[in-house]
A = this chain, B = another copy of it.
């Protein structure tokens, strides 16, 4: 009943007349997803952002977000809701309800609904399409590794709603968000399409003020940015927006290639204890 596409994509998709509803859910919890220094408002923001970023990656306009909150202490609710509402507001969405529960470990599950004229899936690339990204990848990882001026990219990532909509309208052939590093996302896209992705590291914008080799490691392997990865046929006009970068090409052979060399897709993964 759950099709391959439904499992691989960021969102489930439902045709509704001449539009499409997209729906997604994400679970975060304290021990694995929220660093100790994160405030409750930031935790609330993040819980909404992960879902809104999935909706952005479908080229959809978010509408409603629901938040199920399992709280270790009821006093945390207000700041968490404030953060979730603030993030929704930034994205033109409404925090429309939820569920409240007591839980030994703070656990937040946000679910979101959006609407798309033309939902963009992970699997739609064709050989020869351009590969692009939205955002400078690696800033969140830089913040994690002591570059504190990039803290906001880690603590309150901005879902790329406008860029996602613009890329869908421009004819992007596939799209997903980059939550766990560029290589991991390229690998997910490779698995969805069966094609290969050849990127050139010099085309990846460096994190400002970070040495090039370190910035490249942050970009390829660092998580938490919530930028977008997309492909688009070469004849299409890429939206003229400040943080959209073309970094490579889709190829026939199902491999991830960086600067001409095959690499393994990798990045942050959950592990069972």
A-to-B contact residues, CB < 8 Å:
1-2, 6-7, 9, 11-12, 14, 16-17, 21, 23-29, 31-32, 63-64, 66-70, 73-74, 85, 88-89, 94-99, 101-105, 107, 109, 111, 113, 270-273
Contacts and interface: CB of A to CB of B under 8 A. Distances in A.
Given A16-B16, A66-B23, A32 B102 contact: yes
A193 to B, nearest CB: 19
Contacts of A273: 102
Contacts of A26: 68, 99
Contacts of A21: 21, 113
Contacts of A95: 1-2
Nearest to A81: B2
Given A1-B89, A74-B272, A14 B64 contact: yes
B2 A96 contact: yes
Contact of A97 (B25, B28, B66, B88): B25
21 contacts: A1-B94, A2-B95, A2-B97, A6-B96, A12-B64, A23-B66, A24-B97, A25-B66, A25-B68, A25-B109, A25-B111, A26-B99, A27-B101, A27-B107, A29-B70, A74-B272, A101-B270, A102-B270, A102-B271, A105-B105, A109-B109
